[in-house]
Amino acid sequence: MDLTPLSNADLRTAPLRRDHCTLSDWSSACAALDAGRLTLLALWGEAAAVRMALLDEGARRIGLLTLPAETAFPSVGRHHPPAQRLERAVADLWGLVPAGAPDARPWLGHGAPYPFLPVEGDSLHQVPVGPVHAGIIEPGHFRFTAQGETVVRLEERLGYVHKGIEALMTGAVLARGAELAGRTSGDSCVAYQWAFAQAAEAGLACPAPPRAEHIRAVLAELERLANHLGDIGAICNDAAFAMMLAQCSILREGLLRATATAFGHRMGKDVIAPGGVSRDLTPEGVAAIRAALTAVAARLPRLVALYDGTASLQDRTVGTGRLSPALARQFGAGGFVGRAAGRSFDTRRSLPYGPYAELSFVVPARDEGDVNARVWLRIEEAQASLGLLDQLLSGLPGGPVQSGLVPSGPAEGIGLVEGFRGDVFVHLALGPDGRIARCHLRDPSWFQWPLLEAAIEGNIIADFPLCNKSFNCSYSGHDL
């Protein structure tokens, strides 16, 4: 399978060509996915076409296929299960039917009664949970089929927070697109706004100034660190170890306050915009961030020791919710979910952007794939982010933070940014008037949610909150 000639280097700086592929290209891509030679990065619909982004992990290259389609297209999910939910979403949103698809049920559209998969067997019972959950989390439905206490199948039903984000994007000006991108999954607002900006800048061949890229990376690492700390605490809390949540949330709050001091918003929302950043980083901002980082660096090792040394906590996390490396690889699972199960892919290292190529950092990886491995991944990534932030803050280049980008069209570009949860993919097409003709945002959760179904199998229902939190997939980013 020959990928569209996009090298690793020009991916984020070059506008995309819009070539149509043939049916046979499409089927050879399906075969390559099936054989594990390529990884599915995204699959989405648009007016009269369906598109697929593919990753060649060995060659570190991304390819894009565009298949003209009026009403139907040959199903990819038939050969490659990770594509199934994406195709169902294409059918819901664009009316393009994946021909030959093994699962024809709607996914994001909730108009009609939903037939759950049939279950057969002795002494099975079902436990429906959600969409409104007991905790303060996003809505989604989980249908557990259990034998005694043991889960024999979990079936997820998502789409409850579908807001029509991609439809709102169409026809919008870039600034409005950036606003929506930052509100696709609130916990990853920086990653989304960066990926969106990247796509615009690549399409218009107008890169952001180096200082802006550095500031973006500062924001992205702060976001990663804050989320990892919050989630390490929350996972332990789901194993009834509340002290860890309290301690981690103190550190998280310190980071959010520093972000507010430096950037005017606790989560750094709306700082990144196509063309650069809307706010420069002042010496006072740097000092506030440094102070928060010092506090984290001082306290984190003690929290890690606490996690490592509490046998009752380890008893809950070790061996729980195990994800097999084969599945992680097949689904191209990003972030700590993939890296805790042997798939060592991190956009920052594998397809570097912004300042990451010049920075030194470790990308931790493990093979066990259980809750414990995911917790450790979070810990090690948090430590890596501390190191990255130190390098970034000491090496801030001077110069402007805006490139003065002028939207014009037609133009197309791709953005791919490592959010705390995994790689956020954005495809952006601008029309002749410089307005958004089509924007597709693919959350890493698309390839992680299905794996949660696999990881929970054989565990007890009572361990589901722990498993779910250790994945921490986004509902909103997925439901769009």
Partner 1 sequence: MRKFLLQGLTSRPLIEAAPLPADPAVEELGRALQARLRGGLGRSLTIRAVDAGSCNGCELEIHALANPFYDLERFGLHFAASPRHADVLLVTGPVTRNMAEALRRSYAATPDPKWVVSAGDCARDGGCFAGSPAILGGVGAVVPVDLHIPGCPPSPTALLQGLLALLERAATGA
Which residue ranges make up the site for partner 1 (CB under 8 A)?
110, 131-132, 134-139, 159-165, 167-168, 179-180, 183-187, 189, 230, 234, 243, 246-247, 249-250, 252-253, 256, 266-267, 269, 302, 306, 309-310, 474-476
Residue with tokens 């709102």: 168
Pick 25 or 231: Cβ nearer partner 1: 231
Taking residues 172 to 191 in sequence order and writing x for each that binds ligand SF4 by CB under 6 A, - otherwise, the string is -----------x--x-----
Write down the least CB distance from residue 313 to partner 1, Å. Answer: 10
Pick 52 or 262: Cβ nearer partner 1: 262
Q: Which does 167 bind (CB under 5 to 8 A by kind): partner 1, ligand SF4, none?
A: partner 1
Question: Is the CB of residue 422 less than 8 Å from the CB of residue 337?
Answer: yes
| Residue 429 amino acid letter | A
Q: Which does 34 bind (CB under 5 to 8 A by kind): ligand SF4, partner 1, none?
A: none
> Of all residues in this chain, which one has the CB nearest to ligand SF4 in the complex?
183
C-alpha triplet 121, 124, 130: angle, nearest 5°: 130
Write down the least CB distance from residue 179 to ligand SF4, Å. Answer: 9
Pick 290 or 299: Cβ nearer partner 1: 299
Q: Round to whole Å and give the CA distance between 162 and 24.
A: 34
Beta bridge partners of 277: 272
Q: Which does 132 bind (CB under 5 to 8 A by kind): ligand SF4, partner 1, none?
A: partner 1
User: How many other C-beta atoms lie within 10 A of the C-beta of residue 372?
Assistant: 23
Beta strands 276-277 and 272-273 are antiparallel
Residue with tokens 């729980």: 320
Pick 230 or 355: Cβ nearer ligand SF4: 230
SS3 20: coil
Write down the least CB distance from residue 114 to partner 1, Å. Answer: 11
Pick 274 or 369: Cβ nearer partner 1: 274
Write down the least CB distance from residue 479 to partner 1, Å. Answer: 8
Reference 230, options 136, 343, 360, 344; nearest CA is 136
Q: Round to whole Å and give the CA distance between 17 and 202.
A: 12
Alpha helix ranges (H) inside 402-472: 449-456, 464-471
Position 264 contacts ligand SF4 (CB under 6 A)? no
| Residue 11 amino acid letter | L
Write down the least CB distance from residue 269 to ligand SF4, Å. Answer: 8
Beta strands 49-56 and 39-46 are antiparallel
Kindly list the residues in this chain that would bind ligand SF4 in the complex (CB under 6 A): 183, 186
